Structure 1
Amino acid sequence: MIHRLSKFIFHTLLGWKLVGNFPTELKKYIVIGAPHTSWKDFPIAILARTVTRIKINYIGKASLFKPPFGLIFRKLGGTPVDRSKSTNLVDAIVAIFNEKDEFRLALSPEGTRKYTDKWKTGFYFIAKGANVPIVMFAFDFKNKQIVVADPYYLTDDMEKDFNHFLDFYKDIIPAKPELFNNKNLL
């Protein structure tokens, strides 16, 4: 029922389409979603995830998980993160990957909806530490599509890897183009 309703909303009411597929044969990977420039990104991502029937979790700032909406965010696969504390989040998430047989985690490499000069690198070090690939997806508002890339296995060259990410995202038009840095990610 939820799947059909999500498909109806995503495709028919909103007019969005999905280009590419999240890998079903892989049980563990990091999903990076960008450009993250609008509050609209989250509901569109949740709809796309529901349409694909792939279980993908996410983390979000702790304030989102307080009443009255906290229960909803948790039910949607979210886990709160207290960004005010200096904990080693990378190691904690790597441990989750190592403990579970199946775990897919979606993150926004920008870490905010505001303009940022550089991407956060936590997703990269989580993928390295857990030895899992990265699946990129893009919010292309101009063409009303979610674009999903094939899994990317990191090299030992961080600059090369980030250039690969930049190449994928450079022509994507987000909800608010002025908030997306498509020139340099590191």
Structure 2
Amino acid sequence: MHRTIFTTPGLSTLLRGVSLAWLRLAGWTVQGSLAPEARKSVFIAAPHTSNWDLPYTLFASFALRLTPYWMGKASIFRFPFGGLMRWLGGIPVDRSQSNNLVAASAEALVNADGPVQLIVPPEGTRSKTIYWKTGFYWIAVTARLPIVMAHMDYPRKLVGLGPIFRPTGDVDADMAEIKRHYAQYKGKNASQFTHE
């Protein structure tokens, strides 16, 4: 995995303090902590309904001492912001290409030298969608890693890490259970998020 702002010595410590102070001043509560068995894991990022989700995710990642990487549409990695987005942990995804993103992501996670958490929004877009994409699920299954149910709730100003979910391979049953967990959270644009 490439070097990011989260793995830059000194800077990551400074930005953790800034992030904690900013979240506190803005009235947000950071919940949970990363369990040792989830040092390498796949994170669900939900609800994902706004561009504001990225900065809050970055602040929370510093506060929780994470080593996150996140997937974003390829267009946000174009000049002049591509280098910055990668330094913030971004991995460009070209949705027009039919490449084996699941296998490549799983291999990168398994081969990473240290802790790494891959953040994937299951909706795949900030717009309203009825069906969740299952890429995050199959990356976890392929890499044999746990899924961490991360959350962001705008009305209550909560951000953090929920329980660890271990996929069974029964994608329909597992997705139903995961969606039930997310029924309690609301995104910034709540009407754009569905857990059904």
Under a length normalisation based on structure 1, what TM-score does the superposition of the two structures give?
0.92
Alpha-carbon RMSD:
1.3
- How far does the alpha carbon of each residue in 1:132-168 deviate from its partner, in whole angstroms, 9 at most, with x for none? 0100111100100114212111113222211221121
Name the residue aligned to 2:51: 39
For 1:151, what is the secondary structure of its paired residue? strand
Name the residue aligned to 1:122: 135
CA distance in 1, matches of 2:74, 2:169: 33
The answer as to whether partners of 1:58 and 1:107 remain within 8 angstroms in 2 is yes
Name the residue aligned to 1:159: 172
CA distance in 2, matches of 1:156, 1:84: 27
For 1:149, what is the secondary structure of its paired residue? strand
The answer as to whether partners of 1:59 and 1:106 remain within 8 angstroms in 2 is yes
User: What amino acid maps onto 1:58 in structure 2?
Assistant: W
For 1:72, what is the secondary structure of its paired residue? helix
Name the residue aligned to 1:55: 67
Name the residue aligned to 2:117: 104
User: What amino acid maps onto 1:96 in structure 2?
Assistant: A
The answer as to whether partners of 1:27 and 1:101 remain within 8 angstroms in 2 is no
Percent of counterpart pairs with the same letter? 36
For 1:4, what is the secondary structure of its paired residue? helix
CA distance in 1, matches of 2:163, 2:136: 17
- How far does the alpha carbon of each residue in 1:97-156 deviate from its partner, in whole angstroms, 9 at most, with x for none? 222243310010100001111000111111110000100111100100114212111113
Query: Which deviates more, 77-86 or 110-119?
Result: 77-86
Report the Cα offset of residue 53 of structure 1.
1.4
4+ aligned runs moved over 2 Å, structure 1: 22-27
The answer as to whether partners of 1:140 and 1:147 remain within 8 angstroms in 2 is no
| Structure 2 unmatched ranges of 5 or more | 1-13
For 2:92, what is the secondary structure of its paired residue? strand
Under a length normalisation based on structure 2, what TM-score does the superposition of the two structures give?
0.88
- How far does the alpha carbon of each residue in 1:7-60 deviate from its partner, in whole angstroms, 9 at most, with x for none? 111111x21111222224433100011010111111100000011111111121
Whether 1:177 aligns to 2:178 is no
The answer as to whether partners of 1:109 and 1:121 remain within 8 angstroms in 2 is yes
Name the residue aligned to 1:78: 90
Query: Which deviates more, 97-106 or 174-183?
Result: 97-106
CA distance in 2, matches of 1:83, 1:140: 27
| Structure 1 unmatched ranges of 5 or more | none
User: What amino acid maps onto 1:51 in structure 2?
Assistant: A
Whether 1:135 aligns to 2:148 is yes
User: What amino acid maps onto 2:124 in structure 1?
Assistant: G
Q: Would the alpha carbon gap of residues 121 and 157 (structure 1) be closer, same or farther in structure 2, given more than 3 Å must change? A: same
- How far does the alpha carbon of each residue in 1:66-105 deviate from its partner, in whole angstroms, 9 at most, with x for none? 1222222111111112221111111111111222243310
